[in-house]
Amino acid sequence: MSKTTSNAIEYPQPKGEPLPEPQREKKPREKIILDERGMVDMPFLLLTVLLVVIGVIMMFSASYAAAYVDEGSSTAYFSRQGFFAVLGIGLMLFVSRLNYQMWRSLSIPILIGAAAVMLLTPLIGLTGGGAKRWIVLFGIRFQPSEVAKLAIIISYAALISTAKDKIKTFRGLMPFLVIWLVFVGTLILQTHLSGIVIITCIAAAMLFMGGMQLRYFAIGLGAVGLLAFIYLNFMDYASARITAWQDPWSDPSDAGYQIIQSLYAIGSGGLMGLGLGRSRQKYLYLPEMQNDYVFPIVCEELGFVGAMVIILLFMLLIIRGYWIAMHARDRFGALMVGGITTLLALQVFFNIGVVTNFLPATGISLPFFSYGGTALLMQLFEMGLILSVSRQSNNQLLI
């Protein structure tokens, strides 16, 4: 076989003149909105969806009698919560596709908006239980404190990631202190004790994760302790809650009634429970059984075993959240995920602690379980933020 020869003619290049390099076409920089870098963290996503499904089912069981009395239909609360659950999961998946860096640039507008709504609540808010904690904007009824919690997390994460080592000085802590005082001040006007506790704990956790020196923690702990002493001694409703916590049976028909009925529900569940839908306390014996006190109904119907399974699922979700924070690509993402996960952990701990009388009553709902459409949407929105960070994780291994 004959070898093929090339017909191309090679022209000699002049010495000292290198070959011209092909010019690359310059593309204008585009702001990335959607993030397609990787998959979301599947264990976190599956745990979230599983807890939402169980929560909606248990809320339906707990609210069956109350919905019939209040709304004339035993499925009224369930249908609303189910609708918001489906809508919230869709919102979570949509937010998970957004580039989480956009929230850093939006942190200041979010903070200002949350502060403005918090200031409006004592003026035009809805009164319930002797306090103004709800507001209606554009036909939507919600608690501004839920928005304030997320605003604290995002703004603190943005400031800490920008300030870096300045947070270790007292002067560098001043912006964080001012933000905390603004929100706590508005919560005092709303007589919102649970909101004060949660926001204070979140602020402290964010500063701790950001690297604040421990001596400032000691000073802050002393100041918070002094404020708590003054608050509990000068606010009658707060001191009444402490008394009911210490001895519910001292006033079993009023201040201690709810916690006594909660303990009855938990105790009657035993090891394996009475069975799904067979709670007796939900027939208007236990107040707020579809809201803050849904967990006692869980214990009564599913027993100790079922309650521990749900607690285990929450623990796995929280641990996975911190795992995502530890593997985030930057400090802002790590702090935002760490803050949201801490918020979730605090709400679960305080709610279960209250209904078991381990802690004084605070009025904190159980995430994914307590009735409330806008609250569920906000919680799933926060889970979407965590999933968006997981897309850009340094470790894409799903375990």
pLDDT greater than 80 at residue 352: yes
**Measured torsion, CA atoms of residues 47, 292, 155, 173, in degrees rounded to the nearest 10:** -120
Average pLDDT over residues 235-248: 73
Return the number of other C-beta atoms located less than 10 Å from residue 28's C-beta.
Answer: 4
pLDDT of residue 238: 65
Distance CA 155, CA 179 (A): 9
pLDDT of residue 235: 63
Q: Are 259 and 361 in contact (CB under 8 A)?
A: yes
pLDDT of residue 398: 37
Distance CA 76, CA 62 (A): 12
């964080």: which residue's tokens?
176
Average pLDDT over residues 228-245: 70
Angle at 141 (CA atoms; ends 140, 146), nearest 5 degrees: 110
3-state secondary structure the chain: CCCCCCCCCCCCCCCCCCCCCCCCCCCCCCCCCECCCCCCCHHHHHHHHHHHHHHHHHHHHHHHHHHHHHHCCCCHHHHHHHHHHHHHHHHHHHHHCECCCHHHHCHHHHHHHHHHHHHHHHHHCEEECCEEEEEEECCEEECHHHHHHHHHHHHHHHHHHHHHHHHHCHHHHHHHHHHHHHHHHHHHHCCCHHHHHHHHHHHHHHHHHHCCCHHHHHHHHHHHHHHHHHHHHHCHHHHHHHHHHHCHHHCCCCCCHHHHHHHHHHHHHCCCCCCCCCCCCCCCCCCCCCCCCHHHHHHHHHHHHHHHHHHHHHHHHHHHHHHHHHCCCCHHHHHHHHHHHHHHHHHHHHHHHHHCCCCCCCCCCCCCCCCCHHHHHHHHHHHHHHHHHHHCCCCCCCC
Distance CA 389, CA 300 (A): 38
Q: Is 227 exposed, middle or buried (0-12, 13-18, 19+ CB in 10 A)?
A: middle
pLDDT of residue 136: 80
Return the number of other C-beta atoms located less than 10 Å from residue 245's C-beta.
Answer: 17
Angle at 254 (CA atoms; ends 251, 260), nearest 5 degrees: 70
* Token duo for residue 46: 């599956």
Confidence of residue 103 (pLDDT cuts 50, 70, 90): very high
Average pLDDT over residues 235-259: 79
pTM for the predicted model, two decimal places: 0.86
Residues whose CB falls within 8 Å of the CB of residue 47, separated by 6 or more in sequence, listed in order: 313, 316, 317, 320
Of 317, 344, 376, give the one whose Cα is nearest residue 86.
376
pLDDT of residue 143: 84
pLDDT of residue 190: 79
Residues whose CB falls within 8 Å of the CB of residue 141, separated by 6 or more in sequence, listed in order: 126, 134, 135, 374
**Measured torsion, CA atoms of residues 221, 147, 371, 137, in degrees rounded to the nearest 10:** 140
Give residue-wise pLDDT tens across range 175-186.
999 999 999 888
pLDDT greater than 50 at residue 257: yes
* Token duo for residue 266: 């938990």
* Backbone torsions φ then ψ of 140, nearest 5 degrees: -110, 125
Give residue-wise pLDDT tens across range 267-308.
999 999 999 999 999 999 999 899 999 999 999 999 999 999
